[in-house]
Amino acid sequence: MSRGWESKSVEEQQAEASAPKPEPQQENKADIAERTRRVQALEMQRERILSERTSSPHRRSALTYALADIEEKLSELGWSVHM
């Protein structure tokens, strides 16, 4: 006996409903790992800029702007100055 289109649709819907779904925690772990990686990269850039010494006012100005940009990105990620 063949089954009609409607019964196949119901069967598919039941199979989809019982199929395992990715847990939100797994997605959150990936997001947390990505955020941590970005914070670490920005912290390294910040440390490099802070360690540079220059007598050129133009270079000093560029470093100041770069530092402000990095710290703004870090604050968007919830980072605060660690001293």
Determine what percent of the chain is predicted with pLDDT higher than 70: 72
pLDDT at 13 over 60: yes
Longest dimension (CA), the chain: 89
Hey, is 78 helix, strand or coil?
A: coil
> What are 25-65's pLDDT values in tens digits?
666 888 889 999 999 999 999 999 999 999 999 999 999 99
Residues 6 or more apart in contact with residue 67 via CB below 8 angstroms? 46, 49, 50
Determine what percent of the chain is predicted with pLDDT higher than 90: 51
Q: Do 47 and 74 meet the contact criterion of CB atoms below 8 Å apart?
A: no
pTM: 0.61
- DSSP state at residue 19: S
Q: In the chain, what are the domain boundaries?
A: 24-83
pLDDT at 20 over 70: no
